[in-house]
Amino acid sequence: MAAILHRFSPYAFEPKGPVTLEGLRSLSALRYTLYPPYAKGRESENAFKERPMRIFIVGAMMESMLPGFVWKQFGYLFPTTKFEIHLIGPESYFDNTNRVFSSPEQQHGRPLVENYDHQISIFHHGKFFHEIYDTGDLFPFDPYLDVFFLFHPGFSTADSVHWNKTLKGLLESKCAVYVSGYHEVDMKREYDWLMNHELKDEIDILMKPGANRFGCTKLDLVDINPTEIYQANSDIMGFRGKRYHAIKA
C-alpha cells in the first residue's frame, strides 16, 4: 500500500509503467496530502490536513490479525501524517482471546477503535461496505484524503452479490481503489469483471493490471486444486469512479 502512495513509488507513469493519466491525477491528489507544499511554512501543512488520511481495506480478513506495529510502517514512511486504517467486512476483527473472527458491532453496538499511537488508529467495521455506505457514517469522501484497497476480492465468486452493491459506493466516492490478485489469471478475472459490469462506463482505470513489486514471495497451493499454486498479492491494478470535466456549452 505504501509503495503505491509514496512519492518514490516503483510504479511509473505509462508507457514506462502501469499508471495511467487518471491514475497519476489520483496519486497526485493523495501525495499532495502526504507531501504538502511548504510555500507558507508548516502552518500551510497543518491547515490542509483537517483530518487524518483514511485507508479503507474492504473485505478485510488476514489484515485484522496484524499487530499494531505493522501499521506503524506508515508512520515511519509518512511521519507528518496521521492515519485511520478502516478494516471493513464480517471478518474485520480477530478476537485473539477466543481465536475467532467476530463482529465488533454485535458486541459493542459500534465499530471497535484501537489507537495504536498518536499517528495510527485502527477501525474494525463488522458490516459490509455497502451497508456502512448506505448509513452515511463515513461521509464525506475526499480523493485527497481517502484511498481504498481490496486484497483478493474475488469479484466473480459467490460474493459477487455483495461486490455488486459495494462497487456502486466505491465509484460514487471518486476515490482511488487498488485491487490485488493471486496471479496473472486471477487478476485478469477481476479486471474482466469490472470491464463487463453494467457500471463499466463509470470506471476510470488508474493502474493497468501488472506485477506487484511487493507481492508475497511465498508459494501456496489452492485447497480445492492442489495442482494450482499462487502468491498472495502478486498482481495489482487500480480504478476509480469516472470524474467528468466541465465543458463549455
Residue 169: predicted pLDDT: 96
Query: Which pLDDT score is estimated for 228?
Result: 78
> Which residues make Cβ contacts (< 8 Å) with residue 48, sequence separation at least 6?
32, 33, 36
Residue 2, helix vs strand vs coil:
helix
pTM of the model as a whole: 0.91
Residue 47 has what pLDDT?
Answer: 46
Reading the block at residue 190, the C-alpha cell is 477481476
User: What 3-state class would DSSP assign to 117?
Assistant: coil
Architecture of the domain delimited by 2-241: 3-Layer(aba) Sandwich (3.40)
State the pLDDT at residue 112: 87
Determine the pLDDT at residue 43: 45
Cis before 15 (ω within 30): yes
For the chain, 249 residues long, the average pLDDT of each consecutive 10-residue run is: 95 94 96 78 52 95 88 92 94 82 68 90 93 92 96 84 93 97 92 95 96 89 77 94 71
Contact (CB, 8 A) for 165 and 130: yes
* Distance (Å, whole) CA 12 – CA 232: 22
What pLDDT shows up at residue 97?
75
Q: What are the residue ranges spanned by the domains of the chain?
A: 2-241
Q: pLDDT value at position 247?
A: 60
Would you state the pLDDT for residue 214?
92
